[in-house]
Structure 1
Amino acid sequence: MSEGAGRQGIALSERQKIAWLRLIRSDNVGPVTFRDLINHFGTAEAALEMLPELSRRGGAVRSIRIASHADAEREMELAHRHGAAFVGIGEPDYPPFLRKIDGAPPLLAIKGNRAAAGDVAVGIVGSRNASIAGAKFAGMLARDLGASGYVVVSGLARGIDTAAHRASLATGTIAALAGGLDQPYPPENIGLLDEITSGNGLAVSEMPFGWEPRARDFPRRNRLIAGIGLGLVVVEAASRSGSLITARNAADFGRLVFAVPGSPLDPRAHGTNALLKDGAIVTTDASDVLEALAPLREPNLFHSHSHADEPAAEHDHMALPPDDSERERIASALGPTPVEIDEIIRHTELAAATVYLVLLELDLAGRLHRHAGGLVSIATD
């Protein structure tokens, strides 16, 4: 593996970690909502105390479920029994590039060699129904990138993912899971996951232990792959595939996207050829990736401000709750079409802190949808 990207950050205390786990496991609290709650209330413990009131003010029809202290302790104990642990976004073992993305998971469950999280990574993804040539190329690429100091990150799926993981076992590989760390998918790759976590590799997941992956969980997993890597290589991908979702995530995160050209007659090349038309970097060997990424491997790219229970701005803490007229103005400004929060602030002419707090209330009440790029819309279902 490489020399590492630098272990930046501040470790959470056990008490803080339990509070963080309780908050992210509570109803209607996703990564963006978690971040906004911490920014507004300063700590996870303070945010937990306010959840019922915020949800009520947002118009919730039933009491919000808040993960209990016992629930969080049980999950941490379960992680320990599986040889895993939780790492917070501001801690040294959190993947440095992942913490920079919008909506990064506040907590990751990790198992294996923690040093792999700090090394520079490249994602390799592609078709589950891979061709022999595609799987062979993915393996060659992973070996060459590993030999050049990169960790290979992929999704433990059949086909291209499996080939990439196997070829980089010796140099370091990260498997991002769609379910809990104790629920790997597909089942035939359980042995491969054991090889990864018992050697130079690492498994990561933002989902609870015991969580069996569903179809809608895989796009969330895909954003982890895109966020952890400095770049993403798509080897084979059909026109509608999860690999293209990962590529779109990578482009949104400002990562370099690479694609391997294929025959126009092979459906598994339709997606990759489309990526090339859209500006992805043509990739026929590892040197194409290495040359493009070389200027980006500067140490300061990994420096990241810690998010570990830091206090928010004083005016956020001291802001009075919005009144009913302000809530109505903000709710009326929202519709089923996603809009930027800055547009809501300009349209309502209300203070940014007021708008963000009302959006938090609506979110916790289940009345707000959050979309890619920080857009929001009112829930109509």
Structure 2
Amino acid sequence: MPLGGARRTGTALSERQKIAWLRLIRSDNVGPATFRDLISHFGNAEAALEALPELSRRGGADRSFRIATVDEAERELEAAHRFGAVFVGIGEPDYPDALRQIDGAPPLLATKGNLNATARPSLGIVGSRNASVSGAKFAAMIARDAGAAGYVITSGLARGIDTAAHRASLRTGTIAVLAGGLDRPYPPENLGLLQEIVSGEGLAVSEMPFGWEPRARDFPRRNRLVAGISLGVAIVEAANRSGSLITARYAADFGRLVFAVPGSPLDPRCHGTNDLLKQGATVTTSSADVIEALAPLSRDDLFSRLEANEPSAEEPRPMPQPPDDTDRSRVVEALGPTPVAIDDLIRYTGLAAPQIHMVLVELDLAGQLCRHGGNLVSLATAE
């Protein structure tokens, strides 16, 4: 029986808030985790923007801090409007529920197409770009059957397995996650497929600015979104060192189900998936293997909106007392090139969590911090 859409709740951002959010996330060294900490600390994006230069100075920045201007944000909103796209904020009704729950979820997503696609549970399907005929056929079968069961199929618009999964789910709903801006799809030969997706039951999403040409480092970020949007990810043909294995690793980190299709040990395209099976991925030889495993996870209330996991309602707050030099030194001395958990940092230093997070924000804005998956941080090393 097809699944129903989740109840849509949330608070829409005003145009002024959306401009401030865009300015904040497009400013130097402001990633999703720092964005969230800034909103939590200062209460709204406008107050955070005013504080950025001083915060970066306290973190040790050795150059002026670039803050995205109002004109730049307005131009990007206008570009989105001309392109037929809209930005969706993390606390708004159309933001994907499952994605909202991961650490460092993008505060804003550029979207084009049918936003109803975010209301239903999703299955990710990824795999080899140079897929075999049988691999593409199997991926398409899973996508059709899962789509008929009510799941939206999420993938990365790549050649091969991704393309097969998207095409097989055009009628039931599919989400294409782009590595570049919405107006810079890759690969170029899938532009027609993307147009079919956004003009029908599907949706295209990206966290990158309009006009952004995808680079090699942007594809793991795309894979992270595929895993974050999905309740589970099916890997169909993946060689060793494949980007699909990055998606599988993110899925496991997020507590998602990982499905792997076994293949011939003589086919290099199956080495990665066979290794996933050795590591505990669910053996997948039919669509039923996926649909039955996902069923208990597909309740409408599974990813209920938890206020503590979202940026605040943007209410002005009293300016908090900044960490003093002694506290800042204790945090820096406790850090090193090896990633450590923020919770461990709090326990080790004995400082309050808000103070720790503010020092980390300062270091991040100054380019002195690296954030890793699993809420880990380390000092940045000179390249």
Normalising by the residue count of structure 1, what TM-score does the alignment of the two structures yield?
0.97
SS in 2 for 1:23: helix
Would you say the 8 A contact 2:252–2:258 is kept in 1? yes
Query: Given that residues 116 and 174 in structure 1 are in contact (C-alpha distance below 8 angstroms), is that contact kept between their aligned partners in structure 2?
Result: yes
Counterparts of 2:316 and 2:257, CA distance in 1: 34
Deviations 1:262-318 (A, max 9, x none): 00100111111111111111111110011111111112113113535425897xx55
Measured after TM superposition, the shift of residue 8 of structure 1 is: 2.2
Q: Is the 1:10–1:308 contact (alpha carbons within 8 Å) kept by the matching residues of 2?
A: no
Q: Structure 1 residues 168, 224: CA separation in 2 closer, same or farther (over 3 Å shift)?
A: same
Q: For each residue in 1:167-191, what CA deviation from the matched residue of structure 2 results, as whole angstroms up to 9, or x when unmatched?
A: 1001100000000000000000000
| 1:87-115 superposed Cα distances (whole Å, 9 cap, x missing partner) | 00010010110001111000000000010
- In 2, the alpha carbon distance for the partners of 1:14 and 1:313 equals 17
Residue 310 (structure 1) aligned with residue 290 (structure 2): no
CA contact 1:8–1:303 (8 Å) conserved in 2: no
For 1:71, the equivalent position in structure 2 comes to: 72
Matched, 1:334 2:339: no
Structure 2 match to 1:247? 248
Offset of residue 351 of structure 1: 2.0
Instruction: Please state whether the residue corresponding to 1:299 is helix, strand or coil.
Output: coil
CA distance in 2, matches of 1:150, 1:355: 40
Q: Single out whichever of 335-344 and 58-67 deviates more from structure 2.
A: 335-344
Q: Tell me the residue number matched to 1:212.
A: 213
Could you give the per-residue CA deviations for residues 314-345 of structure 1, whole angstroms, max 9, x where no partner exists?
7xx55411221221121111111111122222
Rounded to whole Å, the distance in 1 between the matches of 2:266 and 2:319 is: 63
Q: Distance in 1 between matches of 2:205 and 2:320?
A: 37
2-side partners of 1:72 and 1:322: how far apart? Answer: 31
Give deviations 1:42-67, integer Å, cap 9, x for gaps.
Answer: 10111001000100111100111000
SS at match of 1:345: helix
Q: Distance in 1 between matches of 2:316 and 2:341?
A: 22
SS at match of 2:348: helix
Please tell me whether residue 137 in structure 1 is matched to residue 138 in structure 2: yes
- TM-superposed CA distance for 1:195, in Å, is 0.3
Structure 2: segments with no counterpart, 5+ residues: none
The structural deviation recorded for 1:375 is 0.9
Residues 356, 313 of structure 1: CA spacing in aligned structure 2 closer, same or farther, 3 A cutoff? farther
Deviations for 1:219-270, whole angstroms, at most 9, x for unmatched residues? 0000110011111000110011100000000011111110100001001111
Q: Distance in 2 between matches of 1:296 and 1:312?
A: 34
Show the counterpart of 1:96. 97
Q: Show structure 1 runs of 4+ deviating over 4 A.
A: 311-314
Task: Tell whether the 8 Å contact from 2:39 to 2:311 is kept in structure 1 after alignment.
Answer: no
Distance 2:356 2:233 in 1: 36
- How far did 1:162 drift? 0.3
Could you tell me how far apart the structure 2 residues matched to 1:2 and 1:70 are? 43
SS at match of 2:374: helix
- The within-5 A match list for 1:50-129 is 50-129=51-130
Name the Cα RMSD after superposition: 1.4
CA separation in 2, counterparts of 1:304 and 1:88? 13
How far does the alpha carbon of each residue in 1:338-364 deviate from its partner, in whole angstroms, 9 at most, with x for none? Answer: 111222222222222221111111110
Gaps spanning 5+ residues in structure 1: where?
none
Distance 2:42 2:301 in 1: 30
Can you list the C-alpha shifts for 1:28-85, whole angstroms capped at 9, x where unaligned? Answer: 0000000010111110111001000100111100111000011000000000100000
